[in-house]
């Protein structure tokens, strides 16, 4: 049975009305770092979030970006079971004082993100969901996406597509060429009103909907998501070349800070 726009609007409206009655700071925001990845495409035994990058694990660079973002008040990590204990060491060694919880991730990224969102404190009104391996994100970019989300309830980092995008069929033949001016590549953070995200997540579970990213969940309940232009440097570490590129960018930033 299909999930109609009318049903989605009703379900989300009910949850948001209830949330409005709760006390709490208007824009209190938590970052949820999804860190359940593996090193499969990297070809390493070490998971991609734990790979060394300029003297720190990849995920530490990500955590520090959110630590240094003023509007982020707490950080929750959804981690692999075998890496959970490592984060307390990171908290102490790198001064990640906003880290409030580390929870086991789920079987899928969708399940991991929800586990993290469910673990935030009762104060939270917005959640900024991010990939642990997107380690070049800056506090300025995080702040801007949050600022837009506070106005719209749903906003996502991204960049407009510069190449022509092709939609293909299962045999890899071109099926469609969408208008490039309307195509974006989604990044993280993806920031949503907490109650809206939970409503969308539970609706997806009920209707057995699998999301490709957190934006997809919000789209599923027919709520608009505003794209916010960020940097091409905001890549996700997936393959060996990505790590080399990240090292170059971080060294370049370090040199700029020194001048």
Is pLDDT of 43 > 80?
no
User: Band of the pLDDT at 24, cuts 50, 70, 90?
Assistant: very low
Is pLDDT of 46 > 90?
no
Q: What pLDDT does 151 receive?
A: 97
Q: Which of 9-18, 104-113, 218-227 has the lowest mean pLDDT?
A: 9-18
CA dihedral 235, 241, 246, 249 (to 10 degrees): -110
Taking the alpha carbons of 214, 220, 226, 228 in that order, is the dihedral positive or negative? positive
19 or 95, greater pLDDT = 95
Is pLDDT of 23 > 70?
no
Query: In the chain, where are the structural domains located?
Result: 5-258
202-230 burial code (b ≥16 CB/10 A, e <16): ebbeeeebebebbbbbbbbbbbebebbeb
User: Band of the pLDDT at 1, cuts 50, 70, 90?
Assistant: low
Residue pair 191/29 in contact (Cβ under 8 Å)? The answer is yes
Compute the distance between CA of residue 191 and CA of residue 153 in angstroms, rounded to an integer: 8
Given the candidates 3.90.550.10, 3.30.300.30, 3.40.50.150, 3.30.70.260, the CATH classification of the domain at 5-258 is 3.90.550.10
Stated length of the chain: 259
* Helix-strand-coil split of the chain, %, nearest 5: 40, 20, 35
- Tell me if residue 208 falls in helix, strand or coil: coil
Structure-token match 């520090």, residue found: 64
Tokens standing for 115? 């586990």
Compute the distance between CA of residue 242 and CA of residue 139 in angstroms, rounded to an integer: 21
């Amino acid at each position: 049975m299909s999930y109609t726009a009318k049903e989605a609007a009703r379900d989300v409206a009910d949850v948001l009305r209830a949330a409005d009655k709760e006390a709490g700071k208007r824009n209190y925001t938590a970052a949820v770092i999804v860190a359940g990845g593996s090193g499969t495409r990297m070809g390493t035994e070490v998971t991609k979030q734990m790979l060394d990058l300029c003297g720190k694990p990849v995920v530490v660079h990500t955590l520090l970006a959110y630590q240094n973002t003023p509007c982020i008040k707490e950080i929750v990590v959804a981690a692999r079971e075998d890496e959970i204990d490592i984060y307390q060491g990171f908290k102490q060694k790198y001064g990640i004082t906003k880290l409030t919880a580390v929870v086991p991730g789920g079987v899928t990224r969708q399940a991991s993100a929800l586990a993290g969102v469910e673990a935030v404190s009762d104060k939270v009104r917005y959640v900024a969901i991010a990939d642990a391996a997107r380690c070049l994100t800056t506090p300025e970019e995080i702040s801007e996406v949050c600022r837009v989300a506070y106005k719209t309830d749903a906003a996502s980092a991204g960049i407009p597509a510069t190449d022509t995008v092709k939609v293909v069929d299962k045999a890899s033949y071109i099926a469609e060429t969408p208008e490039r001016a309307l195509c974006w590549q989604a990044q993280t953070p993806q920031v949503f009103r907490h109650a809206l995200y939970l409503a969308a997540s539970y609706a997806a579970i009920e209707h057995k909907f699998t999301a490709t990213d957190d934006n997809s969940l919000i789209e599923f309940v027919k709520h608009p998501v505003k794209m916010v232009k960020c940097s091409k440097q905001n890549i996700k570490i997936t393959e060996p070349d990505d790590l080399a590129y990240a090292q170059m960018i971080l060294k370049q930033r370090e040199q700029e800070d020194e001048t």
